[in-house]
Amino acid sequence: MTDPQLILASTSVTRIQLLASAGVQFKSLPACVDEAELHAKFVALPAETLALELARAKARSLSTNHPEAIVIGADQTLQCAGVIFHKAQSLEGAKSKLKQLRGRAHQLHSAVACVQRGEVVYENVATATLTMRNFSDAFLDRYLKSAKDEALSAVGCYFYEGQGIQLFQKIEGDYHTILGLPLLPLLAFLRQSTIIQA
């Protein structure tokens, strides 16, 4: 069996939907990485560089077994006032993080890396700045009660494409970057490389 031409090293529903909606033919496989170990290894890196290292690692983790394929890795980091945030482990943790972000601007750094035969052939990092409104504690409690597990599966404790949009008063940046995949520059690379039709 031959390798598919394009593999997404992710089972993220959002990233899969973004690529599929663009009409790209690809296969989705889970990346073979220990994210906690990688975060510990790259703890001293700036947020943008961390996102890129994680994206590279995810793509490389599948490239060995699929050397002819272009493997796409993607990751995202959140930074507020110089501090890198991580996913909350509980709803109380999510509540604490959202209180820290409330009324403030934070940056989402979304990275994508394409790897073939173990070598990076394309990479990009895009940044969006999002400003949360000064929502009330009562609103926060209602949001977390409704969002539940969604608040624990995203680094910012929200899904911008869902009810999480109610947390915000302003955004600066690309929608796809906010969702975790710099799609337009990735598509430009895939067209330039004749992986998809121009």
CA distance 185 to 187: 5
Integer CA distances (angstroms), 171 to 36, 97, 105, 142, 181, in order: 29, 19, 9, 23, 16
Give yes or no: 149 in active site.
no
Phi, psi for 36 (deg, rounded to 5): -65, -40
E strand spans, the chain: 6-9, 27-29, 70-80, 83-85, 105-116, 119-132, 168-172
Residue with tokens 């961390």: 50
The number of residues in the chain equals 198
How close are the terminal C-alpha atoms of the chain, in Å?
A: 27
Of 75, 137, 141, 149, catalytic: 75
Distance CA 96, CA 150 (A): 15
Catalytic annotation, residues: 75
